[in-house]
Amino acid sequence: MASLAVLISLVACAALASGATGVRIELTRVHSSPFVRDAVRRDMHRHSARRLAASGDTVSAPVIEGPSSLGEYLMTLAIGTPPLSYPAIADTGSDLIWTQCAPCGDDQCFQQSTPLYNPANSTTFSYLPCSSQLSICEAASLPACVCPGYNYTYGTGWTSGVQGSETFSFGSSPADETSVSDIVFGCSNASSSDFNGSSGLVGLGRGSLSLVSQLGAGTFSYCLTALQDSNSTSTLLLGSSASLNDTGVGTTPFVPSPDMAPFNTFYYLNLTGISLGTTALSIPVDVFTLAANGTGGLIIDSGTTITSLVDAAYQQIRAAVLSMVTLPTTDGSDATGLDLCFALPSSKSAPPAMPSMTLHFDGADMVLPAGSYMTQDSNLWCLALQNQTYGMPSILGNYQQQNMHILYDIGQETMSFAPADCSTF
């Protein structure tokens, strides 16, 4: 799930199912302080839980204190007939769509701001047969899953309940509302408390249960404003409205995902090298290679804030940055959770100029300005990257995706991107 908190409202929605146009979603960032430290802690917990999920062990997700919506994208949608509106986390790193359902006791479900969805009050709800091709147990490859029940684990929590089929509605008003029937979802009767601030989750991943797959959207894109911009909204587009008309567009193919959970839901990319300024870093060519067992590789994930790179690559970047900056280093781990920090004279001091960083993908280069790989927190100026030392995929996080219009083309199996002023979308 995302480590950048935003609130989503759906606007100008038309008939996505008809293919005439798509859905535009406004994303409003919810700022918190200290943002970087809390985001890094959430990222680290997410990485640890993914390792446990990949190993088949039980994941225990502790409560993470902080703002209720810290680290998530919340999108408002409606479920059932008559429709009941609720906010849900939008997550590109998972597939399942779910909401908390009545009955659900205080000791089983987290608090939410909207009434619990009650399937008994909807005329369009039905239990999904275990024989369905979209049975949650089968489609999500859930271990120890007993249909019609399910138990789904995330990087920062879990949910369990029964699988159902329902009508979902998108739109900010009756005039632009679109309803889509027979959407498979999880009717959750128990979950961890890590989803406070929402009423459930909407998966946007690569699997058959995700919203983009069930809608047959084909494409989706987003453009995230700069972290420091608290006045502008970011944008998510689903369906045919998602397109790149920007200049400087680069396109790179997705790498086929391993055929095992949780790796089969991730969007993998082929990163072939990294440059800092005009200098190509001495990173072994095979460090980002994806192995058949799911180790290695690199994924793009809007649900992770800070990019984490395999240690051999991270250490090269760290050394290069250290050689370029003449400021004294300081231990900023408690304040930021980051490994390499420099001391500025004061919190109002401007950091020194740094060259851009280029991520060399198969067929395309993504150029990151200094503000997308360095971050300032008061008088600390830090490298906004982490090292990945556990064999899990490297992750391109959303801090490095700011002011970049990114398009996922599901049909063509490609990702396209271009630098953009996301505050103007």
Catalytic residue positions, numbered: 91, 301
- As a whole number of angstroms, the distance between CA 55 and CA 63 comes to 22
Other C-beta atoms closer than 10 Å to the C-beta of 374 total 22
Q: State how far the alpha carbon of 50 is from the alpha carbons of 29, 259, 263, in Å.
A: 25, 16, 9
> What's phi and psi for 230, nearest 5 deg?
-95, 5
Instruction: Give the DSSP letter of residue 296.
Output: B
Contact 25, 223 (CB under 8 A): no
* Helix residue ranges, H only, 188-263: 211-215
Which helix or strand (DSSP H or E) is residue 202 part of?
A: strand 200-203
Which among 68, 66, 65, 87 is positioned nearest to 78, based on CA atoms? Answer: 87
Instruction: Give the DSSP letter of residue 425.
Output: -
Residue 289 CB contacts under 8 Å (≥ 6 apart), including other chains: 296, 297
Which among 105, 110, 104 is positioned nearest to 187, based on CA atoms? Answer: 104
